[in-house]
Structure 1
Amino acid sequence: MNYRNYLHKDNPVVTITVKKFGQITLELFYQVAPNTVNNFISLINKDYYTDLIFHRIIPGFMIQGGQGDKVKSITGEFAQNGFENPLNHTRGVISMARTNDPNSASSQFFIMHQDSNHLDSAYAAFGGVTSGIEVVDLIVNQPRDVKDRPYDDIVIEKIEVDLKGKVYPKPELYL
């Protein structure tokens, strides 16, 4: 399903400020992937992402950030892991990165540069860009090495969240 169907004035709003590039604003969809949203909000509230980088950029695919100190993982909220998540990986969707272990998502996230339906049902999509997609375009087109790491660090100056007066629980960690 297209993420625009989930946009709502009561959703939490995240603002990612990227040094020298600008801001990306997203809405998070608790109704789609509640524990993933709780995890992301919890990390934002701890200032976890401040000064981390977008460490992987692939034109026509996505930009990935959030790689830092080890964070405990959560259960993956997607169909291949027994969880109904109807959100498709279309341009502007934010999703959680993971290893081959379906329950290894922790802090790394990626924002889709272009549609990538091969990720649908296999990764926990949990929100979408509402403004700043041009910043995603600028980032993804930076020079990079053979491992898709930008030559120059693309720094997440800060990430902030507006919870719209709601309280979100701590994430349930994968045991």
Structure 2
Amino acid sequence: MSDAQNTLIFTLDGGDVKISLRPDLAPNHVARIKELVGEGFYDGLTFHRVIDGFVAQGGCPDGNGMGGTGQKIKAEFNSGKHVRGACSMARAQDPNSGDCQFYICLDDVSYLDGQYTVWGEVTDGMEHVDALPKGEPPRAPGKIIKAVIAA
């Protein structure tokens, strides 16, 4: 596949965030994210949990970290590292409970390695992720205006 077919672009209030999808690490997660993006699922959703030095979490249709699509994705633990800019799937206690929520690492959080599925990495626009309003939840959460696959 071309790079464009594996480039996710989130348009945030501050600008575009380009994410290189990693089907080599998590093919089922990447396929599901592409499917959700194609449906417009992420358009308008907020980052409901943004913690300095940790992660920016979004993708919850309810805006509170409790919602999902009801379609669980089996964990694809891999060699991806939870470093600044890594994109990984959020989940509940059950390792196979990933759905639509994800997070972008704001710093090195390597203690999450091997426990969550890394599916991509920010290649451009990390400053827009850094600028998201902080909080759990933020008073006025930042949102994904539009999500597209570059191809």
Fold in common (TM above 0.5): yes
Q: Which runs of 5+ in 2 are unaligned?
A: 62-66
CA deviation after TM superposition for structure 1 residue 11, in Å: 5.9
Contact 2:52–2:134 at 8 Å: present in 1 too?
Answer: no
Corresponding residue of 1:23:
16
Corresponding residue of 1:123:
116
Distance in 2 between residues matched to 1:92 and 1:46, nearest whole Å: 25
Instruction: Give the TM-score normalised by structure 1.
Output: 0.78
CA deviation after TM superposition for structure 1 residue 137, in Å: 1.2
Q: Aligned residues: percent identity?
A: 35
Corresponding residue of 2:72:
73
After superposition, give the CA deviation of every residue in 1:21-52 in whole Å (9 maximum; x if it has no partner).
21110100101110010011010000001111
Contact 1:93–1:127 at 8 Å: present in 2 too?
Answer: yes
Write out aligned runs for 1:148-163 (5 A).
148-163=136-151
Corresponding residue of 1:14:
8
Contact 2:82–2:112 at 8 Å: present in 1 too?
Answer: yes
Distance in 1 between residues matched to 2:107 and 2:68, nearest whole Å: 29
Tell me if 1:101 matches 2:89: no
- The residue identity in structure 2 corresponding to 1:70 is G
After superposition, give the CA deviation of every residue in 1:119-158 in whole Å (9 maximum; x if it has no partner).
100000011011001111111xx343xxx21100212111
Aligned length: 144
Contact 1:12–1:28 at 8 Å: present in 2 too?
Answer: yes
2:10 aligned counterpart, secondary structure:
strand
